[in-house]
Copies of this chain bind each other. A is one copy, B any other.
Amino acid sequence: MTFSALDSELLGPLFAADAMRDIFSDRNRIAMMLRAEAALARAQATLRLAPPELAASLEAISPGNLDIEALGRDTAIAGVPTIPFIKAVREKLPKDLERAFHKGATTQDIVDTALVLQMRDGLQLIERDLARTVTGLVRLARKHRATICVGRTYGQHAVPLTFGYKAALWATGIAESTAELPALKARVLAASLGGPVGTLATFGDKGPALVEAFARELDLAAPPIAWHALRGRMAEAGAWIAIMLGTLAKMAGDVVHLMSTEVGEVAEPHVPGRGGSSAMPHKRNPVGSTVIIAAHEAAKGYVTSLIDAMAVSHERPPGLWHAEWLALPQLFGLASGALREAVAISEGLTVDTERMRKNLNLTQGLLFSDAVASALAARHGRGEAHRILEEAAGKGRDEGKHLRDALLGDPKLAKDKAAIERAFDLAPFADAGALWTDRALEKIDKRNI
């Protein structure tokens, strides 16, 4: 299993996507650390703070040249991966470049920047899958804009709406999360460079220019001040992922319920071999939704750690920074698996419109009681209208009758016939559902979310 199911050869493929796994592999982390060092060397060269050959020498080193297992052993002693990493890289450099390497920088500069580079690639995957999910749901919503089904509150049938409206709601939530991504990226994708305590004193007044050159080399933002001890960025990134998973979990929870045997209004896309049971051959379990729900469930805890980890002491803390390493990459892993399933659901959900119609009738007309009460109130007053309604509902229950029939059979309501029939008309519900669906889809389309 490995400690994290995400990393398990057995369970990992279920919970995380391969492309994300590559980004957060040890190998790629080393690659990103090397890339950060090379960018630093290039930036320093520009400002005549390092010999121009250093960057080329660093670019020639690849993760394959380093013994990751040995680095791991030494990290357990040193307490941070950078110390053995720098030692190992230095050994690969020409003697005369040794002194220039990693000059004026500190562990956190390289580890933070490498993590940000991984996060950038990770966010790109997330963005791609969010877009696909929204597109899939928009199509689904459009198709079912007027497909009438039951609205449910507290698990109870409430009032009819349309399935397109439900899908448009899911799409809107996910599009709202997506809409925040540019601001998040602008905030989070910042280079980290401050030297031992943030002021880059080694470089005197060239510090700010160096940070800007370094950031430019990596196409990252240059922060106003070193963020070694300002971890809001990481907490915001984590919170965004968890909240984004919340929008997926809303959909997944609805799908699980709509797919339940008694409801049966939708089914996750059929994948041969998926969703069966070791004991019950007839089962079709909502595996995709399960992955999404588990991801949402697991994600929250990491946000706690990341918010906590903001209270770092002075210029670098013992422990809180390290807790980020335990939290942040797993959020990306969870997101990748959940989004893979969200894409599949959005593109392939099976909808049983007939069953939706059937379920509308389960309460024999009670679904329309609000409309009926309004209709009767005009002639009979609010109180009397409620009394009539309750009587008819009781009668309906006792005699197994539809509420409309119970009402129409009441001679006292002869004059209300037209009003009663109107109250049971599904068209206004279908129209309202379609109207709001169209409105939401238009706003999503115009990114006016």
Contacts and interface: CB of A to CB of B under 8 A. Distances in A.
A176 interface: yes
A156 B261 contact: yes
Interface in A321-369: 322-323, 325-327, 329-330, 332-334, 359, 362-363, 366-367, 369
A130 to B, nearest CB: 13
A373 B281 contact: yes
Nearest to A314: B152
Given A7-B7, A225-B436, A78 B1 contact: no
Contacts of A187: 176, 180
Interface stretch (A38-46, A49-57, A240-248): A240-248
A15 interface: yes
A291 B277 CA distance: 34
A1 B272 CA distance: 33
A331 B17 CA distance: 23
B168 A225 contact: yes
A315 to B, nearest CB: 5
A290 B309 contact: no
A354 to B, nearest CB: 13
A418 interface: no
Given A257-B313, A294-B320, A1 B26 contact: yes
A274 B79 contact: yes
Contact of A16 (B3, B260, B278): B3
Contacts of A81: 10-11
A235 B246 contact: yes
B247 A243 contact: no
Interface string A257-269: 1011111000000
Interface in A6-26: 6-16, 21, 24-26
Q: Which of A177, A195, A362 has the most CB of B within 10 A?
A: A195
Given A287-B79, A290-B322, A428-B201, A308 B308 contact: yes
Interface stretch (A65-73, A131-139, A406-414): A65-73
Contact of A311 (B82, B103, B253): B253
A61 interface: no
A12 B107 CA distance: 18
Interface in A153-188: 153-162, 165-166, 168-169, 172-173, 176-177, 180, 183, 187
A48 interface: no
Contacts of A169: 198, 225-226, 229-230
A357 to B, nearest CB: 14
Interface string A176-212: 1100100100010000000111111111110110000
A280 to B, nearest CB: 5
Contacts of A436: 198-200, 207-208, 225-226
**Top-4 shortest CB links A-B:** A301-B301, A293-B319, A246-B310, A151-B197
24 contacts: A77-B274, A86-B278, A106-B279, A107-B277, A151-B314, A152-B313, A153-B280, A155-B261, A156-B283, A157-B261, A158-B283, A159-B279, A160-B201, A165-B199, A169-B226, A202-B371, A224-B440, A235-B246, A246-B307, A281-B373, A293-B311, A294-B320, A297-B309, A326-B334
